[in-house]
Amino acid sequence: MTSEIPSRPARPIPRAGVLDIPAYVPGRSKATGGARVYKLSSNETPLGASPKAIAAYRAAAEKLELYPEDTAPSLRAAIGRVIGLAPERLVCGTGSDEMLNLLAHAYVGPGDEGIYSEHGFLVYPIAITAAGGVPVKVPEKNLVADVDAILAAVTERTKIVFLANPNNPTGTYLPFDEVKRLAAGLPKDVVLVLDAAYAEYVRRNDYEAGIELVSTSENVVMTRTFSKIYGLAAARLGWLYGPPEIVDAVNRIRPPFNVSAAAIVAGIAAIEDRDHTAAAAEHNEVWLTKVTEALTALGLTVTPSVANFVLVHFPDVDGRRAADADDFLSERGVIVRRVTAYGFPDALRITIGSAEANQAMIAALAAFVGK
Ligand SMILES: *Cc1c(COP(=O)(O)O)cnc(C)c1O
């Protein structure tokens, strides 16, 4: 029987704003050629997860019928021990993406504004829009977030500011003095989210992930992930460190049992394997420099990065641009990330991979530019 009310739509219609969200387009995951394939498109670690984390994940298969611990207390305790944080101020989730989305849903409502920077992580405008809010994009200065511009963009409707530090896809970072200046300039009721997904890779004296700032503020939150240096991207695991009131609000909308038992035990083993983490950071330090130098020597412009990837800009050589370089690399088994959606139609983001992958990538780009 059809509805008697003629004005009802013929099928369910998502609420206002949902269909305005551009679908997140992940990096290419398959190459179009090449005897060997090197995936340098998603900032995954070439060292893989700690063998201890893999063993723990496997062992979790023996108890698949049991619900995991709610709120992941054993994982929060492990993070607290290793990083030096109070476990009751931590929330764990299915990737830091879940944390970013829960923060937006807890603090942004219809008509509210959320700020992110020009080349910032695209999950931010998606999370803001999904919560019913309006994403406000603020220009950067020399590919770095601009504190004055962010502060100037704050209105009465601003509820949240997302800052990736270091940022993806630029690899640039904001010195801690600037982050503190941003926090000090924001109204006290605006949540400042410091997304420190790449913090473990950064080796700069003027960088801090934001722990001290969170500890001494009521409106600053730091998010972290197990997807990058810890090599657990497939397990989906991230966390946030925040003031008690924000932790409480996020926990109220967090789905119960959101983190799987396998992810919990893998995360504990991963974060406790400090040698593995140090080895991954060391490998990155060495190859970030080598890759930057090699690509610069090819005549390409590389934005100075402190993370585990580089943003490589392609001048318009003979009309060939980043898209052609991407195809050329893909035919040779090297998968990289196009970043047009981030405002860089003429650039590619390339993850620091294994020595072999990096060498294959450099050789392919040398062939592309004819050197
Ligand atoms: C990769 C990345 C994350 C991590 O997301 P997960 O959901 O934890 O995998 C968060 N923020 C930025 C800026 C990233 O690049």
Distance in Å, CA 263 to ligand 1 centroid = 16
Give the C-alpha distances (Å, rounded to integers) separating 170 from 64, 121, 260, 302: 40, 10, 32, 10
Distance in Å, CA 297 to ligand 1 centroid = 30
Average pLDDT, the chain: 95
Instruction: Give the pLDDT of residue 26.
Output: 75
Instruction: Give the pLDDT of residue 245.
Output: 98
Per-residue pLDDT of 56-84, as tens digits, reads 999 999 999 999 999 999 999 999 999 99
Which candidate, 122, 129, 206, 201, places its Cα nearest to that of 168? 122
The answer on pLDDT for 2 being more than 60 is no
Distance in Å, CA 180 to ligand 1 centroid = 22
Per-residue pLDDT of 232-258, as tens digits, reads 999 999 999 999 999 999 999 999 999
Residue 274 CB contacts under 8 Å (≥ 6 apart), including other chains:
82
Per-residue H/E/C for 300-331: CEEECCCCCEEEEECCCECCECHHHHHHHHHH
Q: Are 50 and 259 in contact (CB under 8 A)?
A: no
Per-residue pLDDT of 136-145, as tens digits, reads 999 999 999 9
* Dist. CA 349–CA 341, nearest whole Å: 12
Torsion, Cα 76 78 84 89, to 10 degrees, reads 10
Q: Ligand 1 site: residues with CB under 6 angstroms? A: 43, 95-97, 121, 164, 168, 195, 197, 225, 227-228, 233, 238
Mean predicted confidence (pLDDT) in 38-66 = 97
* pLDDT, greater one: 266 or 35: 266
Mean predicted confidence (pLDDT) in 89-101 = 98
CA-236 nearest atom, ligand 1: 9
144-160: string of b/e by CB count within 10 Å (b at 16+)?
A: bbbbeebbebbeeebbb
What percent of the chain stands above pLDDT 90?
88
Here the tokens at position 283 are: 């490998």
Instruction: Give the pLDDT of residue 291.
Output: 98
Distance in Å, CA 238 to ligand 1 centroid = 8
* Dist. CA 305–CA 324, nearest whole Å: 23
Residue 315 CB contacts under 8 Å (≥ 6 apart), including other chains:
299, 300, 301, 346
Q: How confident is the model at residue 318 (pLDDT cuts 50, 70, 90)?
A: low
Indicate the length of the chain as a whole number.
Answer: 371
The domains of the chain, with CATH numbers, are: 25-48+275-369 (3.90.1150.10), 51-272 (3.40.640.10)
Q: Which residues share a beta bridge with 193?
A: 162, 221
Q: Give the burial class of 251: count Cβ atoms within 10 A of its Cβ; 0-12 exposed, 13-18 middle, 19 or more buried.
A: middle
Per-residue pLDDT of 324-340, as tens digits, reads 999 999 999 999 999 99
* Dist. CA 2–CA 315, nearest whole Å: 60
Instruction: Give the pLDDT of residue 7.
Output: 85
CA-195 nearest atom, ligand 1: 11
> At which residue do the structure tokens 């005549």 appear?
299
Nearest CA to ligand 1 atom 3: 197
Instruction: Give the pLDDT of residue 280.
Output: 98
Mean predicted confidence (pLDDT) in 283-307 = 97
Q: How confident is the model at residue 1 (pLDDT cuts 50, 70, 90)?
A: low
Instruction: Give the pLDDT of residue 197.
Output: 98
Instruction: Give the pLDDT of residue 313.
Output: 96
The answer on pLDDT for 32 being more than 90 is no
Distance in Å, CA 236 to ligand 1 centroid = 10
Instruction: Give the pLDDT of residue 30.
Output: 86
Torsion, Cα 26 32 37 38, to 10 degrees, reads -40
* Dist. CA 251–CA 106, nearest whole Å: 10
Handedness of CA 35, 41, 47, 48 (dihedral sign): negative
Mean predicted confidence (pLDDT) in 208-220 = 97
CA-233 nearest atom, ligand 1: 9
**For the ranges 5-19, 80-94, 121-135, which has the lowest average pLDDT?**
5-19
Q: How confident is the model at residue 29 (pLDDT cuts 50, 70, 90)?
A: confident
